[in-house]
Amino acid sequence: MATTVMSGCSAMGLRDVCENPDLWAYVRTLKEHADVNVTGGQLLEGTASQSFSFDISSAVFYFGFCALISHLLLAGITAVVIQKCVSLKMVHTAGHAFYCTVAFVFFLGEALLVRHSGILVLWLGISNVDLLHSALGLLAFGIGVGGVGIKTLQKRERKREDPNATVRHFRSNHGFSGIVGCALLLCCVLSGLPLYFYTSKSLQLVHRFCALGSFATLMTSQMFSYNTGFARRQWKAHHVRLLKLFTFIALITTMNYEFRRFAREIVSLIIRQVWH
């Protein structure tokens, strides 16, 4: 009896994550899940209010509000960095900061957000939203790697001009988290492209893990970048603190929905394995 109940719940959890690509569909499925309660091994309808307090309208508002905050913060942070880098004529570290912020903050963050936008699905259709998601991810990877390459070449040039100079790259918190994020983003791209040709639950898990991991580590690298000499020279201390705060909030609000879906799927798969 317990096996039947748990397998039913785990199957619902798997469907909840894998077959609802947009936010509204996800929330509707949660509501349907809440409308089923288990008593004596029988699934009884209409007892959700006793077991769950999940309200579909508040859920839509919550996730929609987080998405709105994310869009505003990602665009705002990117605009601030772009304005500063352009005013410096994109020389030296300014070029690196420009391309990496545009790629890893804006494009990568938007790639996570648009994939679950119910409004975009209504306007464009799910296939076009998938293409937009992929395009933003590829732009993030291509432009971001270019930005990392700019800084790498600059450091090599400095070492060539002065062999005695101490040049550290990818050893600081900023550099290390950045290169780890790039590696995860590469894995995300490589695991995402095959999903256009065939469906694989395990590959979906890998792709989504790498997407969340890459965004988390690259946004962490962005926060560490505010501790560098470049940031301290270009912004006042209280402006740096605000940039750190807003970047952290953008990290949380952007990952919020996708992380919940990913966590639910992992739990569902574990339950299914344990009870089967």
Dihedral sign, Cα of residue 74, residue 77, residue 81, residue 83 = positive
3-state DSSP assignment of residue 130: helix
Domain count, the chain: 1
Higher pLDDT, 200 or 77: 77
Instruction: Give the mean pLDDT of 39-60.
Output: 51
Residue 194: count other Cβ atoms within 10 Å of its Cβ: 12
267 falls within a domain: yes
H or E segment to which residue 45 belongs: strand 42-45
231 falls within a domain: yes
Exposed, middle or buried, 168 (CB in 10 Å: 0-12/13-18/19+)?
A: exposed
Q: Write phi, then psi, for 102 (nearest 5 degrees).
A: -60, -45
Residues of the domain holding 107: 61-164+172-275
Higher pLDDT, 220 or 43: 220
Q: What is the mean pLDDT of the chain?
A: 81
218-231 confidence digits (pLDDT tens): 999 999 999 999 99
Contact 88, 94 (CB under 8 A): yes
40 falls within a domain: no
**Could you tell me the pLDDT band of residue 167, with boundaries at 50, 70 and 90?**
low
Q: Is the pLDDT of residue 189 over 70?
A: yes
The vertex-20 CA angle with 18 and 22, nearest 5°, equals 130
127-165 confidence digits (pLDDT tens): 899 999 999 999 999 999 999 999 988 888 876 777 766
* Whole-prediction pTM: 0.78
What is the spatial distance between Cα 25 and Cα 118, in angstroms, rounded to a whole number? Answer: 8
Cα–Cα distance list, 100 to 105, 108, 143, 251 (Å): 8, 10, 7, 16
CATH of the domain at 219: 1.20.120.1770
